[in-house]
Amino acid sequence: ALLSTATNYSIFEFLDLKITGEPTIKVQRGWDRVGLLSDGAITSGLPCGSFNLDALDRLALITVNDSITLGPELSFASTRTSVPTLSKNSALTLYARGSTGDLFFGSAVNFADRSLELVAERNVHVSSHIPANSTSDPVTRVVPDINILAGHQFVFEPNVRISSACV
């Protein structure tokens, strides 16, 4: 159900959200910022596929009081080349809120000039490579390619590599 457009986002609320197919969002005369808000957990499962963010300015996956667990069966891609500014938020934001809000991120990311934000009120666990390589000059960028914030601790798998011009 569409929750609100007061924040310049089209926000859709779910009891629990499980992404099991290749997501497609088409924007026609509406907000190009979409929020998927789940009262419970957000997870991914087979067969899944690639979530192409080119049609969107921003996508936010947010839990009210639960975890986000996205595995390697889901990937995020964007070929859009627009330099983020201070007035623009991340192209993809994952925010696990609440006392059980952990973020387990194992999805592949392939962005051009888009940014990624991983936020959890408890722990952030990253188990995939994150190549968010900007084509713009990192000296003139005002927003990092990757922003990770954990209320308690970061957990990175030993083989994880984050490559970025601006972190």
Q: For residue 6, count CB atoms less than 10 angstroms from its CB and return exposed for 0-12, middle for 13-18, buried for 19 or more.
A: exposed
- Edge-to-edge strand list for the sheet holding 42-44: 17-19, 42-44, 68-70, 103-105, 123-126, 153-156
Average pLDDT over residues 67-88: 77
Mean residue pLDDT of the chain comes to: 80
The answer to whether the CB of 13 falls within 8 A of the CB of 1 is yes
pLDDT tens, residue by residue, 146-155: 788 899 998 8
User: 66: which 2 tokens?
Assistant: 């639960």
Nearest to 50 by CA among 109, 118, 113, 90: 109
- Two structure tokens written together for 123: 């722990």
CB 77 within 8 A of CB 102: no
The set of residues, in sequence order, having a beta carbon less than 8 Å from that of 131 and lying 6+ positions away, is: 109, 110, 161, 162, 163, 164
* Beta strands 17-19 and 42-44, pairing class: parallel
| Neighbouring residues of 68: CB distance < 8 A, sequence distance ≥ 6 | 41, 42, 43, 61, 94, 95, 96, 102, 103, 104, 105, 120
Q: How far apart are CA 113 and CA 132, in angstroms?
A: 8
Percent of the chain residues topping a pLDDT of 70: 73
Q: What are phi and psi of 144, to 5 degrees?
A: -70, 155
Confidence category of residue 53, pLDDT binned at 50, 70, 90: confident
Confidence of residue 87 (pLDDT cuts 50, 70, 90): very low
